[in-house]
Structure 1
Amino acid sequence: MNTLQAIILAIIEGITEFLPVSSTGHMVIASSFMGIAKDDFTKLFEIVIQLAAILSVVVIYWKKFFDFSRIQFYIKLIIAVIPALIIGGLFKKHIEAMLETPIFIAIILLLGGIILIFVDKWFTNPIINDDAEISNKKAFLIGCYQTLAVVFPGLSRSAATIIGGMQQGLTRKTAAEFSFFLAVPTMMAATVKSIYDVYKNSPEVLSTDNLGILAIGNIVAFIVAYASIKFFIGFLTKNGFKFFGYYRIILGIALLVIHFFIHPLTVS
């Protein structure tokens, strides 16, 4: 991976992290087209820069995130992240295998898009307008929805948790914000695990040059995500999911056409 490729992936991550379109799916597809998807450093890069993008949430919502008088807020996040930690650990090899098959991600993008077109009609009477009203049980159930995105790369962690929140009676805005907060411990755990695995099995990946590229990618992902997060909140609150559903369907179909009629999508 060179610096330009890192910047391209970081921009894609920053734009798509908070949108219900799967940032992981977009990065895997993009890295496949660039011919770097199979590289061990690319796999690490795509996970670590997600944490950088998500840390923009901490900056934007710093008053809420660092209000230590709201101990229940942190307890809910811990409860909600547990399912993903367990499932992620159990299905790590399965997930890595799926990430090496862009065609699978294309199919999930398409199917997920169909769901998003109809999801606004399913939950029309939200009753929870603040995360303080979310019970521990509801937090856990939202965390269970997050595991769907863990098992099926391309589904979108953001989409899964927001829909999970809406199913539990949260407004779109409250569900989106809780999804953002939940992403912080989730991606922090994923990043630490990925760096540890690379350090243990392939320490040469953490070369000085690669660390420099990783630093650039993190900075770009953070800046782009910071700029895009408020746009998404406003757009989602006003317009719902339908636009993103159509986008996913169009992208999924386009990728399938490319795979079957132009050039097979592979990680090699």
Structure 2
Amino acid sequence: MDWFYAIVYGIVEGITEFLPISSTGHLILTGNLMGVPWTKEVKDAFEVVIQGGAILSVLVYYWRDFLKIRHVNTDPQQRTLWLGVLVACVPAVILGLLFGDAIKATLFRPSVVAWALIVGGILMWLIESRRVTPNVDAIEKIGVRRSLMIGALQCLALLWPGFSRSASSILGGMILGLDRATATKFSFYLGVPTLGGAALLNLIQERELIFGEIGLLNVLIGAGVSFVTAYLAIGWLLKFVSTNNFKPFAIYRVIVGVLILVLLATGVMTNGNLA
């Protein structure tokens, strides 16, 4: 059944990684509801590695844009954009190195994730309800300083598991004056070094565990399914935000958070540490 679990995990990861609804929360629900027999260590490692498929989908979806990086020495806009992307990753890298283990040991629990979903959904609703007129309509106009601030706000997802990296970076961008489409696109770009680096590092560190317990074929299946579904999710989300706000996601987050709390209260799900 490992191949089946790999497919389901890939679908969930690909759909939820770039939507502002927390891939962490959905993967927790998926693993618990399916009764995946893998150990906690194997599940954690597998979930991080298949993020690589989702990240690859961003590179493929925006391949023309990413090729422009070769013009950073001659194009000031490209230089500012990519410098901003790199700078935005710094807060998460520093925070992860200094406090990542402590955060996982104390906060990586279903109840914490549930409340992060609920509170994040409420904040999303409030931000959309009090929306100011955006003044940035292209990622090339974000600037290094604003990029750094978005990167700092992205750390909320690390400090509070389940809040969602996509939600924190998109909402952070909107608060700082980006329109929805620009904030969403920048969140995709920001995910490449942030999540791609984590997936690669995890693959190197846990290669014996991943390939020994799950197998190379199942890893490729999970990553491949994650790539396809994430690619489709990116296109859908960009079309959605062009004509809609994020309030439907806010409602959905609250529903999923409440569902996790109900599963905990009824004993269907345990509140043990997930890291």
Q: What is the TM-score of this pair, normalised by structure 1?
A: 0.92
- Indicate which of 217, 231, 235 corresponds to 1:230: 235
The residue identity in structure 1 corresponding to 2:258 is: I
- Measured after TM superposition, the shift of residue 119 of structure 1 is 1.4
The residue identity in structure 2 corresponding to 1:248 is: R
Do the aligned partners of residues 204 and 180 (structure 1) sit closer, same or farther apart at CA in structure 2, a change above 3 Å counting? closer
- C-alpha offsets along residues 138-175 of structure 1, whole Å, 9 cap, x if unaligned? 01000001111112111010010011111111110000
The residue identity in structure 1 corresponding to 2:178 is: L
Distance 2:160 2:37 in 1: 22
> Is the counterpart of residue 91 in structure 1 residue 96 in structure 2?
no
Q: Is the 8 A contact 2:42 2:213 kept in 1?
A: no
Report the secondary structure of 1:129's partner residue.
Answer: coil
Identity across aligned pairs (percent)? 36
- Measured after TM superposition, the shift of residue 234 of structure 1 is 1.6
- Look up the match of 1:60: 61
- Look up the match of 2:75: none
> Is the counterpart of residue 265 in structure 1 residue 266 in structure 2?
no
- Look up the match of 1:136: 144
> Is the counterpart of residue 248 in structure 1 residue 249 in structure 2?
no
Q: Is the 8 A contact 2:55 2:196 kept in 1?
A: no
- C-alpha offsets along residues 47-94 of structure 1, whole Å, 9 cap, x if unaligned? 111221122111111111110212332211111111111111112213
Do the aligned partners of residues 50 and 238 (structure 1) sit closer, same or farther apart at CA in structure 2, a change above 3 Å counting? same
Q: Is the 8 A contact 1:36 1:42 kept in 2?
A: no
- Look up the match of 2:166: 158
- Indicate which of 187, 191, 194 corresponds to 1:183: 191
Please, which moves more after superposition, 186-195 or 211-220? 186-195
Do the aligned partners of residues 37 and 204 (structure 1) sit closer, same or farther apart at CA in structure 2, a change above 3 Å counting? closer
- Look up the match of 1:115: 123
- Indicate which of 215, 221, 225 corresponds to 1:220: 225
- C-alpha offsets along residues 162-215 of structure 1, whole Å, 9 cap, x if unaligned? 11111111110000000000000001221132223325xxx3443285222111
Q: How does 1:44-83 map to 2 (within 5 A)?
A: 44-67=45-68, 68-69=70-71, 70-83=78-91
The residue identity in structure 1 corresponding to 2:156 is: L
Q: Is the 8 A contact 1:13 1:221 kept in 2?
A: yes
- Measured after TM superposition, the shift of residue 232 of structure 1 is 0.9
Do the aligned partners of residues 244 and 168 (structure 1) sit closer, same or farther apart at CA in structure 2, a change above 3 Å counting? same
Q: Is the 8 A contact 1:100 1:266 kept in 2?
A: no
- Look up the match of 1:25: 25
- Look up the match of 2:74: none
Do the aligned partners of residues 148 and 122 (structure 1) sit closer, same or farther apart at CA in structure 2, a change above 3 Å counting? same
The residue identity in structure 2 corresponding to 1:210 is: G
Q: Is the 8 A contact 1:119 1:241 kept in 2?
A: no
- Measured after TM superposition, the shift of residue 262 of structure 1 is 4.5
- Measured after TM superposition, the shift of residue 255 of structure 1 is 1.6
Distance 1:257 1:63 in 2: 45
Runs of 4+ in 1 over 6 A off after TM superposition: none
